[in-house]
Chain A
Amino acid sequence: MQIIVDILSWAFILAGSFFICVGMVGLIRMPDLFTRMHAASVTDTLGAGLLFAGFMLQAGFTLVSVKLIFILGLLFFTGPVVTHALSQAALHAGILPRLQEDRRKRPETGAGGGSDADAARTKN
């Protein structure tokens, strides 16, 4: 019985470690700020979730598991709040997402003209 719990917890902890590293590799490799935020959220959700699931299997039904659930709840709520504030501040500072092509509907540049402005915007 104990060996099954140990194997399961090894699996969860190794998967969590893998996703933590994947999120931070994405933070290095991704091309612009918004895709980097997307990559960093993997660490907050999948990495921490799997890691703490493995810890909870080791801790059993104790106060330690309750504290782990509290930390998971904290990450669950603060991650989206910080990401939203960060993207809002970045957009306010004039940093735009890097786009292959601009598919937003803008009536003033609809028919022909203004394509140069669009091209300049996508190169940001």
Chain B
Amino acid sequence: MMFTAASLAILVALSLAIVRAVKGPTVFDRVLAGNSIGTLALLLLATVGFLTGRPEWLDIAITYGLLNLIGTLAILKFFRHGDLAYDVEDEA
């Protein structure tokens, strides 16, 4: 019962984050909303694991958290430098 309440709250928060990702005026607002969606998906995975009585979902949650970090940093690096494999010495 408590896990159902928590997953409902996380779903509400996810819909709010998706609103910001669609609306966001700059690309960085969308990146921030995407990162929040990743964090909420991690929390939802952990909660659904408890809801179904199978805490193995926590392993998937850990993996998803790592992927979320790598993905966000790669997107930020791309939008900052315009290239994922930029050369440091090119920077003025």
Do the two chains bind? yes
B36 CB contact (under 8 Å) in A40, A51, A71, A93? A40
Residues from chain B with Cβ under 8 Å of A92 in the complex:
80
Q: Is the CB of B2 within 8 A of A13?
A: yes
Residues from chain B with Cβ under 8 Å of A89 in the complex:
28, 76-77, 79-80
- Secondary structure dominating the interface of A: helix
> How many positions in chain B have a CB within 8 Å of any CB in the partner chain?
43
- Secondary structure dominating the interface of B: helix
**Residues of A in contact with B, size category:** 35 or more
Residues from chain B with Cβ under 8 Å of A95 in the complex:
26, 28
- Chain A CB within 8 A of B84 CB: no
Contact with B along A1-45 (1 / 0, CB 8 A): 000000001100110111011011101100001001100100110
Residues from chain A with Cβ under 8 Å of B65 in the complex:
71, 74-75, 78
The verdict on A28 contacting B19 (CB below 8 Å), with A43-B13, A67-B59, A89-B76 known, is yes
